């Protein structure tokens, strides 16, 4: 099965679940996250090399779903979920700050500042 067909299946509104139950997409996200953590903890890349293509497939689908979800939230004008915002804030807080440059020319590939 391809990434695209898997995404379409998981995100399809035709996949109905009982009221109050997590959607297939929500269940996939949770299970893919658990699988990724288990893979990392078990050092699977060293000991379970035959499973690597399957693990990578699920991880790639999970990442694609996150991108689609973010695009959908943006298109609908909805804010980022609090947990994602916290994770991004934490990530940005750990990034090194660029040093001030005494030259007036911007770095290559960067636009001029007004």
Return the CA Rg of the chain.
20
How many domains in the chain?
A: 1
Return the structure tokens found at 24.
């297939």
Which residues constitute the domain of residue 14?
3-92
Q: Are 11 and 3 in contact (CB under 8 A)?
A: no
pTM, rounded to two decimals: 0.60
In a domain, 30, yes or no: yes
Per-residue pLDDT at 113: 43
Q: How far apart are CA 13 and CA 9, in angstroms?
A: 9
pLDDT tens sequence across 65-78 = 887 887 888 888 88
In a domain, 110, yes or no: no
In a domain, 107, yes or no: no
Per-residue pLDDT at 105: 56
Per-residue pLDDT at 25: 85
In a domain, 20, yes or no: yes
In a domain, 102, yes or no: no
Cα 54 from chain centre: 18
> Which region among 53-57, 75-79, 82-86 has the lowest average model confidence (pLDDT)?
82-86
**Where is 17: in which H helix or E strand?**
none
Q: How far apart are CA 70 and CA 78, in angstroms?
A: 9
Q: Are 58 and 29 in contact (CB under 8 A)?
A: no
In a domain, 12, yes or no: yes
In a domain, 98, yes or no: no
pLDDT tens sequence across 98-108 = 655 555 554 45
> Which region among 10-14, 86-90, 99-103 has the lowest average model confidence (pLDDT)?
99-103
In a domain, 109, yes or no: no
Q: In terms of Cα–Cα distance, which of 65, 39, 64, 66 is closest to 52?
A: 39
């Amino acid at each position: 099965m391809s990434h695209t067909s898997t995404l379409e299946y998981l995100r399809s509104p035709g996949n109905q679940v009982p009221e109050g139950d997590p959607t297939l997409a929500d269940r996939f996200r949770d299970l893919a996250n658990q699988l990724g953590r288990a893979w990392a903890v078990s050092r699977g890349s060293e000991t379970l090399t035959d499973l690597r293509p399957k693990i990578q497939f699920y991880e790639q689908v999970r990442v694609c779903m996150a991108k689609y979800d973010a695009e959908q939230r943006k298109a609908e004008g909805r804010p980022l979920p609090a947990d994602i915002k916290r994770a991004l804030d934490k990530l940005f807080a750990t990034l090194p700050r660029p040093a001030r440059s005494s030259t007036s020319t911007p770095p290559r590939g960067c636009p001029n500042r007004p």
